[in-house]
Structure formats: structure tokens, C-alpha cells
Structure 1
Amino acid sequence: MCAAGYFGEVLDHPFPEPLPDVDADPHADFVAPADIDLAEALDFVDRAWAHADASIAALPLRARGRVPWWSGAAADVTLEPLLVHMVAETHRHAGHADVVREQLDGSTGLRPDASSQPDGRTWTEHVAEVDRTAREAAERSTSP
């Protein structure tokens, strides 16, 4: 569920716009509807986070809420664990996007000249080495 759900509905600070209907489609909050364009989707995300920021600023860390899509005692929460949960969620999903970006542009690390490889090679050099090794292995396996 998006930030507007966690920092809105859960904490009784409802987001003033309709949220994705996850009852009808459990993945609705992960996919933008086909009838909206990228700018509209990004504007929605900006409004949802602005609402979340306002809720976070207005409430104490001990503000109580209930996460209806969680089960059992874990569903009864305060703002504090919701913040931790959203940091973890953002980290996990941003990490997924980072893997895709690395595959697209070949860059890793904090700067273009930085390397995340322990031997100091750049990501491009590392990928080239892995590719060369894979090709050589494939050639050996097809040779008589």
C-alpha cells in the first residue's frame, strides 16, 4: 500500500483522493492505470507523499493506528514502526530499480568513476569479464 495508505488511512488521516482498489486487484497499488500518463502518475505520488509528510509532522511517534491489511496483533501499530516499515519498503523497492538501472547504464557506486568491485575494476569492466568468461565456457561446452 502506498504512503497515503500507511500514513493516511492507518493513522486516521485519510488521503482526500481515491486510492487504488486493492480489494478488487491485490496488485492495484503497484501498477498505474492504463488511462493515466506518466506525469499524472508522478503527480499522484507527489500528492500522496505530501499528505504522508503532513501526517508525520502532525502526529507524535506514539500515535496509534491499525493496518487493516496486516494480520493479528501486528496490525495494531504506532507511527514509529510505520516509519521503519516504509524505510524498509522504500529501500527494497529502490534497490530493485537500482538493479535495473545498473543493467541499463552500467554504472554503480556513488559517482561515475566509483567502483563497487573489490578489486577496483569498474562495473563495465566487471560485466565484460563475466561476459567473456561465460562465452568461453559456452565455447568449451560445445567443442568436441
Structure 2
Amino acid sequence: MSAQDEQAMLLRYLQTTRDSLLWKLEGLTEYDVRRPMTPTGTNLLGLVKHCAGVEFGYFGRTFGRDPEDAPAWLDEFDDDPQIDLWVPASETRADIVGLFTASWKNTGAVVEELGLDAVGRVPWWSGERAVITVRQAIVHVSMDLTRHAGHADIIREGIDGAAGLRADNSNLSHDDPLKWQEYYDKVERAAREAKA
């Protein structure tokens, strides 16, 4: 595989995760995209905001490129370590989605300009581990975004039952609510039997 093909493949996987994460916002009210769905406050729009910050961080400072459109709150973690995980009412969904897509453009520009083998230093990591290549940054960010897309899958299903990878491809075995109830009941029975 050529370096160009490898780069395209890595960026395609990253984009698939980004698209999946954004799809989880579609059709929901402002309240539903912002409401905390876990005891630690995890919410859909906050996950998107966090993922924008992740991309701006790993493809900004790590490679000596602080983009103009990076959010100011990237410098405010000491004041509020959760600043990137929730969205105040003064910020709109469009603001956050725009920030997320701006982070993609920045990532793409850095990857295109530097190539996969360029070396950077992650300022918030320590020691030799902090030295990474663009390739490693893409893999790391892909893993981080995929983890958060998984959080979003569960949160969205808890809000309105919507599940799956994308609107055009759920990646689920079927979409029959009765079959899902039968499956749920089977799993619940097995759990109850195991505890006895």
C-alpha cells in the first residue's frame, strides 16, 4: 500500500466515526442533545464538543500548528477540567457542529502538509511517549473518537431508541422492535438465572 493510499484509508476510517457521531444528534431537540444521561454528565453535544477539542489538540499544538479557529476553551482546562464536555445555552448546536467540522479541516490540512511520518510532541503527555508521528496521531484520535461514538450510541438509544452506525446503514442484524424485545428478554432471563 502506498503512503497516499494508507493516508486516505486512515482518514476514511476517521471520517466514518465523525459522521456516526454527528448522526446521533439528528432529529433530537436542543434539550435531548444537551441533557446529561449518566451520573458523570455525559451528553451528546458535549461529546461532539470534546471530539472537536481532541482533533484541534492533537493536530494543532502537537505539530506546532495552532489554528485560528481553535476554541479559546482549549486553554481553560485548569479552571474547568470538564469545559469541553458540556455546552452552555449560549452556544448553539450549529456552533458546536461548525467547530467539529472546522477541526476536521485542520486535521486534513496538517496531514496533507506534513504526511504520515512527520514527528510532533504531545504537550500533555510525558517522556518519550509524547513524541508521535502524524500516523500515530490519526490512530490515537480515531480510537478516542470511536470510544466516544460508542458512548453516543448508548446515549441516543436511551433517549429515543435510535440505534446503529448511520442513518443509511444501521449495521444491526435487523430493525424489528418485536425481535429486539425478544432478544432483550432472553438476555434478561440469562442474567437472572446467572445470579441465582
What TM-score range do you get, normalising by the shorter chain? 0.7 to 0.9
Q: Which residue of 1 aligns with 2:180?
A: 126
Q: Unaligned stretches of 5+ in structure 2?
A: 1-52
Q: Which residue of 2 aligns with 1:5?
A: 57
User: How many residues are aligned here?
Assistant: 133
Question: Tell me, what secondary structure is at the counterpart of 1:61?
Answer: coil
Q: TM-score, normalised by structure 1?
A: 0.73
Q: Which residue of 2 aligns with 1:14?
A: 66
**How far apart, in 2, do the equivalents of 1:72 and 1:124 lie?**
53
Deviation string, structure 1 residues 74-130 (Cα, Å, up to 9, x no partner): 1111111111101111111111111223342254477469526xxxx9465233553
The 1:77/1:126 distance shift into structure 2, 3 A limit, reads: same
Question: Tell me, what secondary structure is at the counterpart of 1:29?
Answer: coil
**How far apart, in 2, do the equivalents of 1:133 and 1:82 lie?**
38
Which structure would you say has the larger RCO, counting Cα contacts within 8 Å and 6 or more residues apart? 2
Q: Unaligned stretches of 5+ in structure 1?
A: 139-144
Following TM superposition, by how much is the alpha carbon of 1:57 offset from its aligned partner in structure 2, in angstroms?
Answer: 1.0
**How far apart, in 2, do the equivalents of 1:48 and 1:13 lie?**
12
Q: Which residue of 2 aligns with 1:74?
A: 129
Q: TM-score, normalised by structure 2?
A: 0.56
Higher helix fraction: Structure 1 or Structure 2?
2
**How far apart, in 2, do the equivalents of 1:65 and 1:130 lie?**
47
Q: Which residue of 1 aligns with 2:173?
A: 115
Question: Tell me, what secondary structure is at the counterpart of 2:80?
Answer: coil
Q: What is the identity percentage for the equivalent residue pairs of Structure 1 and Structure 2?
A: 31
